[in-house]
Amino acid sequence: MKYYLIIIMLLLLPGLCLAVKPGTQSSAGTGCEIQTPQIDTVAVNSNINFHAHVINGTNGKPLNSSDVSCVFHIYNNLDSHIGIAYSNHTTFEKVYDFSFQINNNFTTAKYYSYILQCNNSISGCFVSGTIEATPNGYYLTTEKSIMFFMFAVFIFSIFILCLYWTIVLPYQDVKNDEGEVISINDLKYLKIFLSVMSYIILWMFFGIMDGIFSNYMYEIGIGNYFEWAYNIMLAFIWPCIVVGVTFLIVSYINSKKLQKTLNGDWFK
């Protein structure tokens, strides 16, 4: 079993390495300074409204649209310029709040860079940073990596335990040396139940791994394999349950008949 845990750990280990938030780099000119809320992640195909405040670098007072104009540039991971937004009077929610509507740019899951530059006739300043577009808009932190790892190990351990007892538990009734049945083996019911549960738990495990890799560790590129396995098992999960329940009922009825035969009840 320890080898299975090592395999799971190796699969999820890249998440621990990737769980470092990109830092935001900023720079201020001699005449102004830009302050922005830090945005680390957005969901793929989402639109954002980027806000900024521009401060006078000398006296610390906020500047408005009559004092300075600003332009927002966005680049993809290949450093291609893919979007631009201008500040104007219609985009100010407040007199000192510079707002930039960024639409239809975060089309794929990857890193994007931005530069916001502001200037007037005598001075200028800028701020730059990175934004990661992820499938669900959330970033894989170290805490989440550990939580997902422990949960995946827990589910897979239950699967291995169920599979082990499914294999080990006997199904045949107890027989003597002549091959005659002398008692009913009630563990057969547990064996049938555990065989169905092993299938269901393995299906759940593939679903968990698909969610982890598709939403947080998509850069590794193996999430599609877990999704493929999950969907195939999903297609057979109800037939598996029906067959298991039917087999359980038939085994119980046959065992009751055999028990009556062993007890001689048929002749009473």
d(CA 262, CA 152): 47
Segments in 19-141 forming alpha helices (H): none
Count of alpha carbons within 13 angstroms of residue 164, beta-carbon side: 7
Instruction: State the total domains in the chain.
Output: 2
Say if residue 130 is in the same domain as residue 166: no
Task: Dump pLDDT digits (tens) for 224-259.
Answer: 788 899 999 999 999 999 999 998 898 888 878 777
Task: Dump pLDDT digits (tens) for 48-73.
Answer: 888 888 888 778 788 877 778 888 99
Domain membership of residue 156 as a residue range: 142-267
CB contact burial 79-109 (16+ within 10 A = b; e otherwise): eeeebebebeeebeeeebbbbbebeebbeeb
- Please state the pTM of the whole predicted model: 0.62
On whether residue 67 sits in a domain, the answer given is yes
On whether residue 249 sits in a domain, the answer given is yes
Greatest Cα pair distance, the chain, in angstroms, is: 111
Say if residue 84 is in the same domain as residue 183: no
With residue 83 as reference, give the H or E element that holds it.
strand 81-86
